[in-house]
Structure formats: structure tokens, C-alpha cells
């Protein structure tokens, strides 16, 4: 396993502002504008964005609006945000976007449930219209998802599944990322690529690849956004990846299916990974809470992906043996 070379030190833009106490609607307006451009609060009156030409313009327009509204503001560039490391700052942005993505995923699940009960063309048309709005919201959030938050995979796959179910003919299916089908034989001798900052789904996938698919597989960790795949690579748990979320299934579940693995012990692990990753309590296994805490502890204690994989492997090894013995 290897990480690509680390990028140059991240540069940040900080908006430091003070708003007048009245009118109240002005404060709400500025807050909404900050949310819309994807800024996160690092202090009560300090918001951050990764530095680039577009975010610079966003902050400058907002600065102008604050000053015209009777407030005070300044924009500055920084290498560090209030003592946070770049990884910690990235996590703040990912957490904000994951919250947005989870709201969309929840609405997509609700609409999917409505499809089952829809008895008329009018009801399905209404659901289709709402699905279109969700698709637009997802696209809007993706534009401010600066570091490739995990939640996009689930939201994207749930909306795509909803669109497929609503479609009455091929012309009505919204375009979604397509991948070439892979067979179990295709999974041997490949380079496997996933996003840096692994958590439960990617940790479990790597364990599964090493234990049951290809012990000699090469694993690479790359940035979550902007990565251009090389020929022969298999991207997993990545947007537009060859093996990633499909409908309401996490990447581990999809990998099991593609590899043709039907081991009941691995299926049990898949249910735990699903509930931790998607947070939808679909399977409700009693072991899930404890495993979620173990994985969270590993990720907190280990910043490097290689260390997370090393520490996480025994968790899944023991879990696998537990379910094999339990079945017996």
C-alpha cells in the first residue's frame, strides 16, 4: 500500500467579520450566504474556505455585502487555521458536507418509500419532480465539496436508484456514472485505488481484498477529488468508481457481490459496515455500536491510512471468526 506524494501545504482564506445587531434578518442572510458558498466556522466570527480564485471572489462579494449592511469585515490568507492541522481543517469541511449529503439521502429514502405506495401517474410525477430537485441540490452541494466528503457516494447512489425506479422508459433515466461490469476474475492482479482518509467502508474493503480477493493486490490512496485513473486501476468507494455505492448498498456490499462471495460470516460483517457507513440502521445488528466505536478510535488515533488499515485488520479478522463460530 502506498500514499501518493503529499500535496503542497494548504492555503486558506479567512473571513473575519462583525455584524450589526439589527436588523436580525441581515444576520440570517449573511449566515445563509456563508452556508451557500461552503464556508465553515472556525470561531464565532471567523469563517474559512480553501484558497483559490473562486473562493476569493466569493469572500470578496460577501465582504462588500457585509460592509454595505453596516458591518465590518476583512479577508486574509493563512497557512494555518487557528492552530488546526490541514487534516483537521479538511475534516471540518467534510463533516459539513456529509451533513448536507445525509439530508439528501434521507429525503431520497423517503421518496423511494413513496414510490412503492404511489397508485397514480400524478403521484409518480410529483415524486419525479421532487427527485429532480434533489438531483439539483446534490449538484449544488458537490460544487462546495472541496475535499470529497464520503457522504456524496450514498446520496448519489440513492438518487440514481430512485431515478431508475421512476423511469418508465430509457429516455426518462437521468444520466448517472456508468462503469464497466467486473467479474471475479477481473479483480485479480489489479491496482486498487481509493480516497485518502479511510474509514469503515474502505477499511473493510481493503481487508476483504487482502483476505479473500487478491492477497497480492496493490492498494493506492489518492485525493478524493480530481484524481484521473490510470489504465487497469480499480477505483473503490470513490465517486464514479468501478466498485462503489449502488442504491442503498455500501461499497463493501457491492464488492462482495462483484467477487461472487456468499460466505454468511462476510454477509454479517457487510450488514455492520452498512449500518456504520450509511447510518440508516437498516440491519440493526447488536454488534454494530461496539464496532463503530472501535473503528472511530482507530481513525482518531491514527492519521495515516496505512496505520488505520494495520489496526483495523484484526478487528475484521476477529469479527469474521466470531460470526463463523456463531454460525457453527
What's the confidence (pLDDT) of residue 1? 61
Per-residue 3-state assignment (H helix, E strand, C coil) for 250-301: CHHHHHHHHCCCCCHHHHHHHHHHHHHHHCCCCCCCCCHHHHHHHHHHHHHH
The CATH number given to 9-78 is: 3.30.70.240
Residue 181 confidence (pLDDT): 62
- 216-262: pLDDT as tens digits: 999 999 987 788 899 889 999 998 899 999 988 999 999 999 999 99
Tell me the DSSP string of 221-239.
Answer: EE-SSSPPPPTTEEEBSST
For residue 87, the model assigns a pLDDT of 83
- Domain borders along the chain are 9-78, 86-172, 184-327
Q: What is the pTM of this model?
A: 0.74
pLDDT tens for each residue of 161-200: 999 888 854 444 444 444 456 777 789 899 999 999 899 9
Strand partners, 16: 46, 74
Q: Which of 129, 157, 114, 180 is nearest to 274 (CA)?
A: 157
According to DSSP, the residues that pair with 12 across neighbouring strands are 50, 78
Cell 429514502, residue located: 109
Residues facing 81 on adjacent strands:
84
Q: Give percent above pLDDT 70 in the chain.
A: 93
Amino acid at each position: 500500500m502506498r500514499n501518493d506524494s503529499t500535496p503542497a501545504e494548504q492555503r486558506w482564506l479567512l473571513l473575519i467579520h462583525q455584524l450589526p445587531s439589527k436588523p436580525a434578518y441581515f444576520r440570517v442572510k449573511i449566515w445563509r450566504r456563508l452556508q451557500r458558498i461552503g464556508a465553515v466556522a472556525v470561531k464565532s466570527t471567523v469563517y474559512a474556505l480553501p484558497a483559490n480564485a473562486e473562493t476569493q471572489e466569493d469572500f470578496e462579494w460577501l465582504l462588500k455585502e457585509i460592509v454595505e449592511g453596516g458591518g465590518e469585515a476583512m479577508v486574509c490568507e493563512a497557512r494555518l487555521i487557528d492552530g488546526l492541522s490541514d487534516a483537521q481543517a479538511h475534516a471540518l469541511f467534510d463533516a459539513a458536507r456529509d451533513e448536507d449529503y445525509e439530508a439528501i439521502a434521507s429525503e431520497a429514502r423517503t421518496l423511494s418509500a413513496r414510490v412503492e405506495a404511489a397508485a397514480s401517474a400524478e403521484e409518480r410525477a410529483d415524486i419525479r419532480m421532487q427527485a429532480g430537485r434533489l438531483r439539483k441540490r446534490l449538484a449544488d452541494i458537490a460544487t462546495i465539496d472541496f475535499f470529497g466528503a464520503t457522504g456524496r457516494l450514498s446520496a448519489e447512489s440513492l438518487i440514481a436508484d430512485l431515478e431508475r425506479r421512476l423511469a418508465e422508459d430509457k429516455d426518462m433515466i437521468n444520466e448517472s456514472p456508468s462503469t464497466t461490469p467486473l467479474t471475479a476474475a477481473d479483480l485479480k492482479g489489479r491496482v486498487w485505488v481509493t480516497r485518502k482518509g479511510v474509514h469503515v467502508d474502505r477499511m473493510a474493503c481493503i481487508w476483504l481484498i487482502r483476505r479473500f480477493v487478491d492477497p497480492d493486490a496493490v492498494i493506492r490512496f489518492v485525493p478524493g477529488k480530481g484524481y484521473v485513473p490510470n489504465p487497469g486501476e480499480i477505483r473503490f468507494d470513490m465517486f464514479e468508481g468501478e466498485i462503489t455505492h449502488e442504491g442503498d448498498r455500501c461499497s463493501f456490499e457491492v464488492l462482495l457481490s462483484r467477487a461472487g462471495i456468499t460466505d454468511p460470516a462476510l454477509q454479517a460483517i457487510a450488514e455492520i459496515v452498512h449500518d456504520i457507513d450509511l447510518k440508516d440502521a437498516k440491519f440493526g445488528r447488536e454488534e454494530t455500536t461496539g464496532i463503530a466505536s472501535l473503528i472511530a478510535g482507530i481513525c482518531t488515533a491514527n492519521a495515516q491510512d496505512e496505520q488505520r488499515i494495520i489496526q483495523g485488520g484484526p478487528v475484521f479478522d476477529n469479527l469474521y471468526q466470531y460470526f463463523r463460530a456463531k454460525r457453527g
